[in-house]
Amino acid sequence: MEKNVTKEEILEFTRAKGADVCGIADLTAAADFVRATYGGSFAEYPRAVSFALFFPKEVVNEQLKGPTRNYETIYLMLNREIERISTAVAIKLQRAGFRAYPLDATDYRPTAHPEKLHYAVAAADEAGEKLPKLGFEIIDVFSHRLAAAHAGLGWIGKSCCLVNPEVGPRLRLGTVLTDAPFEPDAPIENRCGSCRSCIDACPAHALHGRAFDEKDPLSARIDVQKCYDFFDKVEAVYGIGICGLCLGSCPFGK
């Protein structure tokens, strides 16, 4: 099959499907980090089509006054839009002869590696046994933020969010990993400077205020368990576990 889609065509297609911004990430320099953090199969992809849908900023900023159900409604709607766009982009790349893997908008990987899990489940079933349900770690199956930062959509701020110059962290990200050898876009510099707005706004004191460095583990920047536990505490009194104060407090794009 002739491999026949250009970078310009795939980015135009991604925008036409609804992305507000998009770019091409070179993931080759991050391959060791990806392999160690997310597994070898993801490290096989040298490029990613990264895109963002902007969150209506007033809905995010409203969180600073108190949680709203509208925040969750739009958050979930944007996730479904991202998966629709990612799937369309992946199929277009596949039709053009490339490997392409669309990532879930939000997904978490199991603590145990699920390799050959289909056969293990079938064998246990035939033996009249039942395997225990796998637990899930609170780490994304792959970092959309890493791909977006490499694609120049923004920088990874002290909030651990991708900060875009136009809307700050008020966005949702999508990623399609691929082996299509597109010319990558250039990352942009981190502009957090001495700002501490997200750290001071975090009610769970989960953010450590450390700039992103691929050599550091995620735990150097954020106590994810504290953040997730806080969602549960908000849910216990509000019915929905949401926060987003680190997004609403960022001065970029406010």
Min dist CB 60 to ligand SF4, Å, is 11
Residues 249 and 53 sit within 8 Å (Cβ to Cβ): no
Min dist CB 217 to ligand SF4, Å, is 16
Min dist CB 30 to ligand SF4, Å, is 20
Segment contacting ligand SF4 by CB under 6 A, of 2-10, 120-128, 139-147, 158-166: 158-166
User: How large is the angle between the packed helices 69-95 and 7-16, nearest 10 degrees?
Assistant: 150
Site for ligand SF4 in 200-229 (CB under 6 A): 201-202, 204, 206-207, 227
**What three-state secondary structure class fits 239?**
coil
Q: What angle is formed at CA 52 by the lines to CA 249 and CA 55, rounded to 5 degrees? A: 45
User: Which residue among 37, 61, 86, 159 contacts ligand SF4 (CB under 6 A)?
Assistant: 159
CB nearer ligand SF4, residue 98 or residue 252: 252
198 makes contact with ligand SF4 (CB under 6 A): yes
CB nearer ligand SF4, residue 14 or residue 143: 143
Tokens coding 32:
């060791």
**Residue with token string 């104060």:** 245
Helix boundaries (H) for 62-102: 69-95
230 makes contact with ligand SF4 (CB under 6 A): yes
The 3-state secondary structure of 110-165 reads ECCCCCCHHHHHHHHHHCCCCCCCCCEEEEECCCHHHHHHHCCCCEECCCCCEEEC
Which residues of the shown chain bind ligand SF4 in the complex (CB under 6 A)?
157-159, 163, 192, 195-198, 201-202, 204, 206-207, 227, 230, 243-246, 249-252
User: So which residues are the catalytic ones?
Assistant: 140
